[in-house]
Structure 1
């Protein structure tokens, strides 16, 4: 299953990611993040897979902008995000 990226503009700008983020669609994630600007919440609690290409996009955005990640505790993406060190650059909360 590929990912679906939905941009929500009510309240804090949010990119909701559902499905798998990999090399094939990481540029779509980057485009969604660029669309909302410098402060963004990325809802990853419904993300079932995140590879290095997706991480690279998130790292790049976190280095230049305020980034908050929403993870599902015990979900498949939580450990990847924590082990990558992304939690040092982005705020994290759990759904």
Structure 2
């Protein structure tokens, strides 16, 4: 997995882009990317290929602490996991 801070927009909103798999072994890397986040953060998951419960835990925690927006790819496995977990009920979503 590659999770990287990819910048801030003109309003100071942090974007974190995830590529590949997020699982128990690397969910801490994803969590570390949120250290500089403000009240709102965008997580671009449209290039993520796998997301397990450890990754979901990180994203639910972020949704609890700030306004979280997820960018998903329609119909892929990550979008299905995010939807089934209920994360779409606590985080804004859009498709990229």
TM-score (ref. length: structure 1) = 0.93
CA–CA distance in structure 2, aligned partners of residues 85 and 64 of structure 1:
16
TM-score by length of 2: 0.92
What is residue 21 of structure 1 aligned with on the other side? Answer: 22
Give the CA RMSD over aligned residues: 1.0
Which structure 1 residue ranges, 4+ long, deviate > 4 Å from structure 2?
none
Show structure 2 runs of 5+ residues with no match: none
Give the deviation of 1:13 after TM superposition: 1.3
8 Å CA contact retained: 1:7, 1:36: no
Structure 1: gaps (5+ residues): none
CA contact (8 A) 1:48 1:76 kept: yes
Tell me the residue number matched to 1:10. Answer: 8
Residue pairs, 1:28-67, within 5 angstroms: 28-67=29-68
